[in-house]
Structure 1
Amino acid sequence: MFFHPMDFLILIAFGLSLWAQFRVNSTFNRFAEVPVSTGLTGAEAARRMLDANGLGHIPIEHIPGTLTDHYDPISKTVRLSDPVFSGSSISAVSVACHEVGHAIQHKVAYPMLVARHYIFPVVNFASGVAPILLIAGFLMHWMNLVLLGIIFFSAAVAFQLITLPVEFNASSRARTLMVQMGFIRNAEEEGVGKVLNAAALTYVAAALISVLQLLKFVMIFANSRDE
């Protein structure tokens, strides 16, 4: 009932997602072994970048795990994982500065970040309801219920698409400031780019999967209406 030719494309996208996750881990681990020439730790680099951008009030907290780093816009806190907080590698400084990039976006009200914050409550609800509506609609052949599920699912897809420019922009800000502030040398910029690009690829893969799933549901709905 639920098989559709587009499932093949979704499987390919899912494979891409697994590969992207493998790549981000392997790239991070590779450059975690390459010390940054300035000797800065991730926490030190993040602190300097925050202070230089008028964000001295934002604290930096340590959190357990690996690649659990994030900027919390609610508490306005940069949280760095074990190898990033105390690490003085290209990976550590790159990831730390990327999270500061989000803090800077928050300060300047970067439009896509603002949009993501506004729709998050709706998406949080929609992502939980959409699967229930879609499954129930297909099982009971209630196309209006399917349509409602598609609308809710579209909100979740929109959130992931908005996330892409947010992540790329944060990386771009981080990379530019890292060079301007002397955190890295010119020869190290290539490694920074590889770390940040690998991380961004995971978001691209996730968005691609969601878009293909949405298209699949739309095509099934359209075909059902024609029958």
Structure 2
Amino acid sequence: MPYYFYDATYILVLIGALISMIASWNVKNTFRTYSRVWNSRNIPSQDIAQMILHDAGIYDVRIERIRGDLTDHYSPNEKVLRLSDSVYGSTSVAAIGVAAHECGHAIQHQEGYAPLKLRSFSVPLANIGSRLSWPIIVLGLILGWSGLLEVGILLFVFVVVFQLITLPVEFDASHRAIRILEAKQLFGDQELQGAKKVLTAAALTYVAALASAILQLVRLILISRRNDD
């Protein structure tokens, strides 16, 4: 078995981990900063989310509370918009920005936004790649079977492609959120800038996840080529 866990290509994994750590710290710090800035209209996030959905002609999406911090998400299959403990009930600029972002996903779903459809279609492949790629890769390295290693790498490609598809979906949802908040004059100028910073920091976590996955893929390809040599 090659020195998979000790060779020079491991620096790519460390770089990816560092990028992800910085992005995670940035979004948490930015959210924490603007979670202390209250919107001037004093409307809680779930009420603004309901307002946005109804104005978009969406009446069949439930809004629920979910445990955790920044665990917010929209489930298109269930038609449920879930807001985390740190967002639900809050009137902060950060919370409303996040809630509006999730409404952006619901609007994407209603409009049949193509990248969202593609992401939903790719979820099963990404899940298969996430669960099976590493066991197959490690087994291929242990046994010295280059074919098995290549199968594992191909499965990992599904994960990378999913991360890539996710980017336009997330960026578009944030752009929709900002446009809606601005058009409805739910925020003052400074509050809107705060929401933009929160959503930008959140978007960068997806960029970091993609960068980390690509670096890992490059490492795997380098190892595979070295084994062939």
TM-score by length of 1: 0.96
> Aligned residue for 2:219?
216
Amino acid at match of 1:108: E
The answer as to whether partners of 1:21 and 1:202 remain within 8 angstroms in 2 is: yes
The answer as to whether partners of 1:24 and 1:199 remain within 8 angstroms in 2 is: yes
Which residue among 61, 74, 78 is the counterpart of 1:75?
78
Is the aligned partner of 1:36 residue 2:39?
yes
Q: CA deviation at 1:128?
A: 0.7
Is the aligned partner of 1:23 residue 2:23?
no
Q: Which runs of 5+ in 2 are unaligned?
A: none
SS in 2 for 1:62: strand
Amino acid at match of 1:11: L
Q: CA deviation at 1:190?
A: 1.2
Which residue among 79, 84, 89 is the counterpart of 2:87?
84
> 1:96-124: per-residue Cα shift (whole Å, max 9, x none)?
00000111111111111111111111221
Is the aligned partner of 1:181 residue 2:180?
no
> 1:65-113: per-residue Cα shift (whole Å, max 9, x none)?
2111110111011011122110001011000000001111111111111
State the distance in 2 between where 1:55 and 1:219 align. Answer: 49
Equivalence map 1:62-211=2 (5 Å): 62-211=65-214
> Aligned residue for 2:55?
52
Q: CA deviation at 1:8?
A: 1.3
RMSD, aligned CA: 1.1
The answer as to whether partners of 2:19 and 2:212 remain within 8 angstroms in 1 is: no
Q: Which runs of 5+ in 1 are unaligned?
A: none
State the distance in 1 between where 2:223 and 2:16 align. Answer: 19
> 1:135-166: per-residue Cα shift (whole Å, max 9, x none)?
00011110000010011010011001111111
Q: CA deviation at 1:174?
A: 0.4
State the distance in 2 between where 1:166 and 1:4 align. Answer: 36
State the distance in 2 between where 1:150 and 1:12 align. Answer: 20
Greater shift in the superposed pair: 206-215 or 184-193: 184-193
State the distance in 1 between where 2:7 and 2:206 align. Answer: 25
TM-score by length of 2: 0.95
SS in 2 for 1:65: coil
Q: % of aligned pairs identical?
A: 38
